[in-house]
Amino acid sequence: MLNYDLGRFYVWFLFVISVITALARLGLPGQFALVMSAKLEDERKRRRQRFWGWVIILASPAILLYGVVGHIRAWMWVAAAIGILNGGEQVLDTAYPDRGSLVFLSRIFGAFHAIAAIAIWFFVLRYPAVR
C-alpha cells in the first residue's frame, strides 16, 4: 500500500501557484493593475477585499497552533507564510487602489512570490524526508 503525504501535495500546489503568481505579477504588472483598479473602484468591493485580507492575515498563522498538541510539519509553515503574503497583498491593494500604485505592488508581490517559490523549492521540496 502506498503512503501518500497530502501535506506534500499541498506544498507542491502552493509552489506551482507561487510560480504562476510570480510570472503573472512580474510579466504583466500593467494588465493586473488595470483589472484591479477597475475592480477596486467600487467602495463595497474594496471594503470586502480589505476585510478578507485581514481575515487571511490573522487566520493563516492559526494553523501553527497545532504545534501546541502535535508536530508542526513543513507544509504548515508554508501555508501560513503564503496566506500572510496573500492577505497582505489584498490589504495593500485596497489601501492604494490607483493604477500606478497597483503596478508597483504587483511587481513587489511578484518578487515576494518568486522568493517564496524559491524558498519552498530549496527548503521543502528538494528533500523528500521533509514533511
What does the pLDDT read at residue 4?
A: 64
Give tens-digit pLDDT for 60-109: 999 888 877 888 888 889 999 999 999 999 999 999 999 999 999 999 99
Q: What is the model's pTM?
A: 0.87
Q: How far apart are CA 71 and CA 64, in angstroms?
A: 10
Asked if 118 and 22 touch (Cβ cutoff 8 Å), the reply is no
Confidence of residue 1 (pLDDT cuts 50, 70, 90): very low
Count of domains in the chain?
1
What size, in residues, is the chain?
Answer: 131
Query: Which has the higher per-residue pLDDT, 69 or 110?
Result: 110
49 assigned to some structural domain: yes
Residue 68 lies in domain: 6-125
Of the listed ranges 43-47, 64-68, 113-117, 127-131, the one predicted with least confidence: 127-131
Here the cell at position 106 is 504587483
130 assigned to some structural domain: no
CA dihedral 17, 92, 45, 18 (to 10 degrees): 0
Give tens-digit pLDDT for 10-33: 899 999 999 999 999 999 999 999
41 assigned to some structural domain: yes
1 assigned to some structural domain: no
Q: How far apart are CA 1 and CA 130, in angstroms?
A: 21
88 assigned to some structural domain: yes
What does the pLDDT read at residue 52?
A: 97
Distances (CA, A) of 29 to 6, 61, 102: 33, 28, 8
Mean pLDDT along residues 42-55: 96
